[in-house]
Structure 1
Amino acid sequence: MTKDVPAETGILAPHRQLISELRWEAHKWLHEQDFAEIVLPSVWTRSEEYGVEEFTLAHSRKGPELDLRLLQSPEFPLFNAMAKGLGPSYTFGRCYRYEQDASFSDGNYLMEFEQLVFAQSGTTVEEMAALTDQLVIRLAKVAGIEVDPREFFHLGPSGLVPEHSTNGLAVESLVFLTFSEESTPSGREQLLKRLGEAGARVYALDGSADMSSTGSPSARERFLIETDADHRAAIEEIAGEAAGPGLNATWNIYPPFRWRPGEVTDSTYDVRSITSRREKAADGGECIADAELYLGGLEVIHIRGYADHAQFLENLQHAGLPNLRERYEYLLPALEAAPSGMVASFLGWERLVAVLLGLPSASGVPYFPRAGNGAPRW
């Protein structure tokens, strides 16, 4: 299903050629879609996208009144440019983050990394997700992986995507399972039964069947397995016995505006996003017009539908930190006349390449990787 990628053998490892091919393929596809390439700054005013401290720039001739930072993401320059009328555009933007938590030691969190971002106005999150699917399929083909567009499953909150019985599930509570081609119907049924006995709820990918109690599994190969933190290790071990290759492409769309109780996050805000447009679900819950694509169980792409002037100010109030309006005052004049339907797709480039090439972690993609806490990985 994937090309054989040689193990990393130093800075000039053989898979570098494939990495280069993927980058050029992304450029070609974006130009075919009429996105113009732009360059966004790496130095910006204080933004702190998630309320988390940024790297501050010092200079012998720079006074304290000039507060310049390295960007955590292209988020705010892009938001500002789109509000001022930027047309369909894309960029490979540098990002700088300090991730000290020990759980970020798996090699998928880098201090310096790239986001491939493409954005346009007059569109929707769903339309941007469909466009992003096309790019992923195109890049996967370069990596030797054939992906069917029907494989992209959408997991959403109750009331917004009613065709799926898995609505309302938290994506972080799910394990993804693709059965190998060698598995038999009886073997699949026995494994799904074991998962249920271990405390999991198993959903067929089409959302039509709940396999947690009785009944035989459908002919579908892919399943979502819901579990809690206490049972996750056991569930993953059982699922791993029969798992075959697969990206298990899953969109988590319209997540809750506020963090779920007990949800682990480094954000200092009380809400998921201060720039996202908010929506009301049929059940009255408040969601944001965002979508997250998980490939191989790892989040690699984030889509954001941007708030207008009024909602942005409300989001700042909900964030729970003082003086946010003053910090983002420079954005408000542009937002007063911003076009409707501003949406951007942010691809974690190193993570995406690592998943497509079967590398053990994102740190195998850049030439000079540093862990989230700044420690060198070479």
Structure 2
Amino acid sequence: MAAEVLAQGGASVTVYDAMPSAGRKFLMAGRGGLNLTHSEPLTEFLPRYREAMPHLRAAVEAFPPDALRDWSAGLGQLTFIGSSGRVFPKTFKASPLLRAWLRRLDAAGVQFAFRHRWTGWDEKRQLELQTPDGLRAVAARAAVLALGGASWPRLGSDGAWVDILAAKGVAISKLRSANSGFTVAWSDVFRDRFEGQPLKGVALTIGAHTVRGEAMITRSGIEGGAIYALSAELREAVLGIGKATLMIALRPDLGADALTKRLSGNRGKQSLANFLRKAAQLSPVGIGLMQEAAIASGRPLAAFSPAELADLVNAIPVQLTGVAPLDRAISTAGGISFDELDDHFMLRKLPGVFAAGEMLDWEAPTGGYLLQASFATGAAAGRGALAWLKR
């Protein structure tokens, strides 16, 4: 995006990419359907960036979701708004959009140099790039660094830039997993039976934060959209005290009194699991979670009174014991401190060097917010570099 803005402004632009081809992480983002952005108003959209909102506001307002949709349409990829408000290309894929984008960049004169890994600067302040033919030095009047975070490093964003910039005195917050799963010490019985099973229509809570949505049981823990939306709070708790207690409500729209009434009926010869499934419309995996909680409490679930069962249905404690590895996280928290950047996304300690995307210290939930901020900061860094060239 920075290259496009610069080329449109008349600059001569080369994109140096460590990988053998362009946009590998972009293609990965579209593997399950390319969620470009979200349709909600900016008054709701911008707070998704949490503490980073003041630093990202101007960039997103300058290139908002509607502009991103128009940009995609200009590349022949019309978009639609899904039932959740998320915005997707009608093809649902990343590859047609990427191909059209690369054709546009080529027509604008943008050059691409693949298998060129940036390793820093030489004594003449030239960019150093490791290539198949050895070390190459490139003199550039301006440089935009868009090197990603450190999730999915096999796609190119391995976080190696952290040490390079830190050596120049640039303050960088530690890179951490964002939009990641968490580990849970499930019992063998629960793990073997419910691995890969979804929890639908649940409410997840940690502290004062509650999210409605879906989650997925994994062999080692739990992940999914609602988990990702709480990942910052969950991660900080786990990293701070070694664990986090996630509360799961299986029937968040039913109050305790209504559930108690349903669960006070005569069970007859039904098993407890069948009774819970029919009386409270609970899924087998939800009942399994209740069994896990009962085991942890030291009491069999069958010993719970109807009122206790009702309370448990909407307050199942699940103890998270760890964060999924960074290389498997969807995105990265941490990065270059915004205090290190001026209003044009230029590094104050490195005049003429700009940074954008996941390199910066922000995070957001899935839902289109990640790509939107990456596009918007890329465009902002491109505008900043263009102004630097024209100063």
- Quick check: TM above 0.5? no
TM-score of Structure 1 vs Structure 2, range by shorter chain: under 0.3
Structure of higher CA gyration radius: 2
TM-score norm. by structure 2 comes to: 0.24
TM-score norm. by structure 1 comes to: 0.24
In terms of fraction of residues, the more helix-rich structure is 2
